[in-house]
């Protein structure tokens, strides 16, 4: 499977924090699946018990205009061996 779902939006700082907290709660649950909201869609994933985390903070100064800071959080994992997707194969 090689699907990719992408969504960009502008949120208030408060709403962005709430969105990130909701992701953490869902990921930390003991459930087998983690449902990730992406725009008006949800994607159900089945993370293994161990995840790889990559964090990057990119601070760029512009000669003209405002400085820009970008924070990227990337999680990756192998799908659980007992996930429904594996059962379907």
23-79, pLDDT tens digit by residue? 999 898 888 899 999 999 999 999 998 999 999 999 999 888 899 999 999 999 998
User: Model pTM?
Assistant: 0.76
Cα–Cα distance for residue pair 61/8, rounded to 1 Å? 23
Cα–Cα distance for residue pair 46/78, rounded to 1 Å? 9
- In this predicted model, which residue has the larger pLDDT, 64 or 1? 64
Question: CA triplet 61, 62, 63: central angle to 5 degrees?
Answer: 125
Contact between 46 and 33 under an 8 Å Cβ cutoff? The reply is: yes
Q: Is the pLDDT of residue 1 over 70?
A: no
């Amino acid at each position: 499977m090689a699907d990719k779902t992408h969504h960009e939006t502008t949120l208030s700082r408060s709403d962005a924090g709430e969105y990130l907290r909701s992701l953490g709660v869902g990921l930390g649950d003991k459930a087998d699946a983690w449902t990730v909201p992406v725009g008006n869609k949800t994607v159900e994933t089945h993370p293994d018990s161990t995840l790889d985390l990559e964090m990057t903070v990119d601070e760029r100064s512009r000669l003209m205009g405002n400085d820009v800071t970008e924070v990227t959080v990337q999680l990756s994992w192998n799908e659980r061996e007992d996930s429904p997707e594996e059962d379907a194969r």
